[in-house]
Amino acid sequence: MARKKKEPELNKKKVDTSGVIGLVGSTTEQAISETLEINYMPYAMSVIVSRAIPEIDGFKPSHRKLLYTMYKMGLLNGGKVKSANIVGQTMRLNPHGDAAIYETMVRLAKGNETLLHPFVDSKGNFGKVYSRDMAYAAARYTEAKLDSFSAELFRDIDSDTVDMVDNYDATMKEPALLPTTFPNVLVNANQGIAVGMASNICSFNLAEICETTIALMNNPDHDILETLQGPDFSTGAELLFDEAATREIYSTGRGSFKLRAKWRYEKKDNVIEIYEIPYSTTGEAIMDKVSELMKAGKIKEINDMRDETDLGGLKLTIDLKRGVEPEKLMQKLFRLTPLQDSFACNFNILIAGMPRVMGVGEILEEWTAWRTECVKRRLYYQIQKKEDRLHLLKGLERILLDIDKAIAIIRETELESEVVPNLMIGFGIDEIQANYVAEIKLRNINKEYILKQTRAIDDLEKEIADLRDILSSGRRLKNVIIGELKDVAKKYGQPRKTEIIYQTAAMEEEDEEEDIPDYPVTVFVSKEGYLKKITPQSLRMSGEQKFKEGDSLAFSRETSNKAEILVLTDQAQCYKSRLNDFEDGKASLLGDYLPAKLGMEPGENVLQVILPGDYKGFMLFFFENGKAAKVPLSAYETKTNRRRLTGAFSDKSPLKTAMAFDTDCQVAVYTTDGRAAIFSTALMQPKTTRNTIGVNVISLKKKATVSHAVTLETSGITNPSRYRCRNLPTAGALVKEEDAAEKQISFDV
């Protein structure tokens, strides 16, 4: 019998495969945690540190590489060159491709209007930040140079103020940071999405930021809100000021504020012109939303809306119907469209390579410390240069004692290589000084020239002493930075573009309420979930209510058009809506199907419809397992326009009945085995959470469940004392024939 061929030992080792990645045909096995640590974490940190999060100078690496390349190209003082040339040169520092580099330039350009203080002076079509569809021209068509404002980025860069590091292939050096003379990190907006974190920094007015920085340097307890009114954006618009929210952003670096478009009404043409919009949206997004609302019938006051943006700037024009009040329409548009939008702040900045979320005060403190270090490095550099010059001049001063001797030494020295050593011996100077003397031109070996040079020795010594004094004096060092901040604010400061509006939330809520027409209506809800809203006039003229075959009336109620309704479903969700959202109907129509109207999930069904009124009472939920829950109606009141509340009630047992009450009353609970119990709702304590499982109110026999619950007045029970209880839970009593008249089970309100 032939011997069986021995199989290779590949992958024969038995290992615990839980949490292990095994590659077919490979003996390498690695735990998932190890894979994440070795493979994923370096990628994540690279994105955070080297790509997406700005540093204390206010720039991401892509911004810094582009601006430094333009600086080295001489574009700070020279003329404009083709953008394609700049992009190509930048690829020596940034290997991510020409498209990414050009997009970075577009954002920094004056023509795009993204920044309050653009760094790139552009010529040609660079698109607009407020337009989604207005594309920028290709790099071969546009031209650019550095704006004069960029001088504040590079003023000290050649004075060893920042570290210079190798580029990606170690063929040239680039700055690790740019020595900005002002807190650029808060002056120009910046945003980035990294791995597991993001950054979104709004822009502030340059003059206000400089003033605030100076105030904090003089007094660390300075109230920032006194000098920094609020964010300021290149697109202008209006800032709805909220002091509490602003202080939260200033202290924590997180929060949001609202921006609103600026508009004017042209009475002659009966049009509204919108000329400034929030920084966080675009003209196309606003147009799309208004068009959607017009098609849905939610905005009926507009004939047409068009984009009339031209070289003069943004302009969205709205044609109004006759008799429309512009102010009320704009308040409605602010609520329903991005004409009023929120800007979410997340001041996440890299400090010494580590991401940190900081408030405005902490950011300015970090910037001041970093800028102080830059100024110190500049002073050290200046001192070194002056000391080197002083050292040479002192050697020259020695020559002054005997010029003829120096000439004689040089003439009598046979070998050129011995000139410097002989001068060193003859005058007692070092090699550096001797080289300097030896290189002096023959025409300059005269007493006048040498006296003129050596006369600067006293001035240099005084300057060096002064620079050393600044280094050793914290007060003088601080004054240097303050002086630079004042110069920047004076030279480049400009008035605010974003106007601050002091409007309270209560005023906004009042405007919203006034805009909804209020009139009496009667609501009809069927058992299958159809809703009809009928005015009194239409109701008087109508006949019998029409329902779908097999469907019937669940309840009807007189209320107002501004009333809210709560729709509870079999998936423990609550849908909120206003009756104003439903069209006025007629008795001959089926009405609106609630699952479709409210956008319910497939298979989700209506269980109960509640009219909560002013949300002052409480809700009572009865579950199949004999438990009941008492929840304040205020738990369902929301300040925002949320249409769906998840976890509206407990889903541990099927809901049988839900009722809303203003005050405590008597209710009757029925079970499937023919029992009933009556008790006061005052016996139940209200719960703070909506999805509470409740408490036992009735003890159930084997296989029995709760069938329904009604108020005592609608129960038809003639002898309530037989079923009434004083303590919960109760066993109830068998329902007598005279109390068991057939009752209609319907939606309760």
Residue of 498, 495, 496, 493 whose CA lies nearest to 152: 493
Q: Report whether 590 contacts 545 (CB < 8 A).
A: no
Domains of the chain: 59-179 (3.90.199.10), 262-338 (3.30.1360.40), 366-492 (1.10.268.10), 517-739 (2.120.10.90)
Strand order in the sheet with 120-123: 81-82, 143-146, 120-123
Cα–Cα distance between 50 and 58 in angstroms, integer? Answer: 14
500 band by pLDDT with thresholds 50, 70 and 90:
very high
Q: Report whether 436 contacts 396 (CB < 8 A).
A: yes
- Whether 90 shows a pLDDT value over 50: the answer reads yes
Residue of 647, 681, 679, 676 whose CA lies nearest to 663: 681
Burial call 441-469: b when 16+ CB within 10 Å, e when fewer = eeeebeeeebeebbeeeeebeebbeebee
Read out DSSP for 62-83? HHHHHHHHHHHTTTTTS--EEH
Residue of 198, 297, 206 whose CA lies nearest to 253: 198
Residue that wins the pLDDT comparison between 738 and 675: 675
Tens-place pLDDT, residues 649-696: 888 899 988 888 888 889 999 999 888 899 988 888 888 788 888 889
Tens-place pLDDT, residues 295-308: 888 888 899 999 99
**What one-letter code names the amino acid at 694?**
G
**What one-letter code names the amino acid at 89?**
Q
Active-site residue, selected from the candidate residues 141, 168, 502, 519? 141
Tens-place pLDDT, residues 100-115: 999 999 999 999 999 9
Tens-place pLDDT, residues 473-485: 999 999 999 999 9
% of the chain beyond a pLDDT of 70: 93
Tens-place pLDDT, residues 7-54: 444 444 444 444 444 444 555 777 888 888 888 888 787 777 777 899
Give, in degrees to the nearest 5, the angle at Cα 200 between 198 and 205: 160
Region 408-433 average pLDDT: 89
Cα–Cα distance between 177 and 57 in angstroms, integer? Answer: 6
**Residue written as token pair 């009807």:** 556
**What one-letter code names the amino acid at 701?**
K
Dig out the tokens for 90 from the structure.
């930048």
Region 64-68 average pLDDT: 96
pLDDT confidence of residue 237: 95
Residues 6+ apart with CB under 8 A from 414: none
For 222, the enclosing helix (H) or strand (E) is none
Q: How far is CA 169 from CA 49, 106, 173, 178, in A?
A: 19, 26, 10, 21
pTM of the prediction?
Answer: 0.68
Give, in degrees to the nearest 5, the angle at Cα 306 between 305 and 312: 135
Region 199-206 average pLDDT: 95
Report the 10 Å Cβ neighbour count for 173.
Answer: 13
**Residue written as token pair 């720039």:** 59
Q: Is the peptide bond before 729 cis (omega within 30 degrees of 0)?
A: yes
CA atoms within 13 A on the CB side of 743: 21
**Residue written as token pair 């609302």:** 293
pLDDT confidence of residue 26: 53
Tens-place pLDDT, residues 232-241: 999 999 999 9
397 band by pLDDT with thresholds 50, 70 and 90:
confident
List residues bridging with 523 in a β-sheet: 533, 557
Region 599-624 average pLDDT: 87
- Whether 749 shows a pLDDT value over 80: the answer reads no
pLDDT confidence of residue 92: 94
224 band by pLDDT with thresholds 50, 70 and 90:
very high
pLDDT confidence of residue 362: 96
Region 437-448 average pLDDT: 80
pLDDT confidence of residue 296: 83
593 is annotated as an active-site residue: no
pLDDT confidence of residue 639: 63
- Whether 613 shows a pLDDT value over 80: the answer reads yes
Residues 6+ apart with CB under 8 A from 733: 675, 676, 677, 722, 723
Report the 10 Å Cβ neighbour count for 3.
Answer: 5
Residue that wins the pLDDT comparison between 454 and 265: 265
